[in-house]
């Protein structure tokens, strides 16, 4: 978080984390598309995220202008150093889950990776604003939300069902993580008084 009191601006970093091909980039593409803009993207030939994708969402919060810089991380293991670098300074995380049954193990593995990535910067899953998005709800092999909640959302964080490719649940997810970040931001401000 970066605060500029003179300009009445605050900037937050939001990272969309999760396994490869879960829908992280698709979320940002859908958000940008609804605003008539493009994301900044560094992709491979197969259009998979190589470094990161980025988009800036701006909202008026009281008399401040809040910018939420949205990033994705690559989900491929060979890019773990890049993923760790992108996680630096994250104010909030959207963990994007591929709801299909065959991806459950990989989702669980990536929750552990997220925990490790946060710990590199002195943070934990428990103290970081986090929203879990259950993406690909349209798949026949999608696990029930009850199973996903029990297996993945052990901390009881806000969760959203989505079909990101159709834009379903994308805005709700974004609004949820912004709400979680602002709650945390408000408590930090109040603690300093």
Lowest mean pLDDT among 52-56, 72-76, 179-183, 184-188: 184-188
Instruction: Dump the DSSP string for 69-99.
Output: EEEE---SGGGHHHHHHHHTT-SEEEEEEE-
Predicted local distance difference test score (pLDDT) of residue 193 = 45
Predicted local distance difference test score (pLDDT) of residue 49 = 47
And the tokens for 39?
């994301």
Give the Cα separation of 131 and 129 in Å (integer).
7
- In the chain, % helix, strand, coil (3-state, to 5) comes to 40, 30, 30
Domain range summary for the chain, segments of one domain joined by +? 2-192
Sign of CA dihedral 32, 37, 43, 48: positive
Question: Closest by alpha carbon to 184, among 108, 107, 128?
Answer: 128
pLDDT at 104 over 90: yes
Percent of the chain surpassing pLDDT 70? 91
Report the top-level CATH class of 2-192.
alpha beta
64-75 pLDDT tens trace: 899 999 999 988
pLDDT at 190 over 70: no
Phi, psi dihedrals of residue 145, rounded to the nearest 5° = -65, -35
Lowest mean pLDDT among 20-24, 76-80, 89-93, 117-121: 76-80
From residue 101, alpha-carbon distances to 106, 124, 136, 148, 169 in Å are 10, 27, 11, 10, 20
pLDDT band at 35 (very low <50, low <70, confident <90, very high): very high
Give the Cα separation of 123 and 112 in Å (integer).
13
pLDDT band at 61 (very low <50, low <70, confident <90, very high): confident
Predicted local distance difference test score (pLDDT) of residue 74 = 87
126-178 pLDDT tens trace: 999 999 999 999 999 999 999 999 999 999 999 999 999 999 999 999 999 99
Give the Cα separation of 78 and 90 in Å (integer).
21
And the tokens for 96?
């994007």
Q: What is the mean pLDDT of the chain?
A: 91
50-76 in b/e form (b: 16+ CB < 10 A) is bbbbbbebeeeeeebebebbbbbbbbb
Give the Cα separation of 18 and 28 in Å (integer).
14
Give the Cα separation of 148 and 100 in Å (integer).
10
């Amino acid at each position: 978080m970066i605060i500029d009191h003179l300009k009445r601006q605050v900037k937050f970093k939001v990272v969309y984390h999760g396994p490869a091909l879960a829908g992280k980039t698709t979320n940002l593409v859908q958000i940008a598309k609804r605003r008539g803009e493009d994301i900044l993207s560094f992709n491979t030939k197969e259009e998979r995220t190589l470094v990161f994708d980025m988009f800036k969402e701006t909202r008026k919060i009281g008399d401040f202008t809040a910018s939420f810089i949205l990033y994705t991380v690559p989900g491929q293991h060979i890019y773990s150093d890049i993923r760790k670098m992108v996680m630096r300074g994250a104010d909030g995380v959207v963990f994007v889950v591929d709801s299909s049954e065959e991806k459950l193990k990989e989702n669980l593995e990536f929750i552990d990776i997220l925990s490790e990535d946060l710990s590199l910067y002195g943070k934990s899953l428990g103290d970081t604003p986090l929203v879990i998005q259950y993406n690909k709800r349209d798949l026949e092999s999608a696990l029930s939300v009850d199973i996903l909640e029990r297996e993945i959302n052990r901390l009881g964080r806000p969760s959203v069902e989505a079909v990101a490719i159709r834009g379903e649940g994308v805005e709700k997810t974004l609004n949820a993580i912004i709400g979680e970040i602002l709650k945390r931001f408000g408590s930090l401000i109040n603690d300093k008084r």
